[in-house]
Amino acid sequence: MAVFREFSLRLIAAFPHKIHTVVTDNGTQFITPSASGSTTPLVKEAIASGEMFQA
């Protein structure tokens, strides 16, 4: 986790634009809305409300 945190902080500092979305996995729970256990509706709801979330 510390490695990802350090990478993220350096990326944010170096990238000249606001980062809106970071895609970290191609698991079916993220890319297939009809998949069993899909988190797609929860992710869309969190994004719409401006809420921070972890998947």
pTM of the model: 0.37
Residue 19 has pLDDT above 60, yes or no: yes
Both tokens of 39, joined, read: 């988190």
How much is the pLDDT for 18?
85
- 8 A C-beta contact, residue 30 and residue 39: yes
| Higher-scoring residue by pLDDT: 52, 6 | 6
Burial readout 37-50 (b: 16 or more C-beta within 10 A, e: otherwise): ebbeeebeeeeeee
pLDDT in the model for residue 14: 92
- Cα distances (angstroms) measured from residue 18 to each of 2, 4, 32: 22, 18, 27
Decide if pLDDT at 54 tops 70: no
Mean pLDDT of all residues in 2-24: 85
Q: What is the pLDDT of residue 41?
A: 74
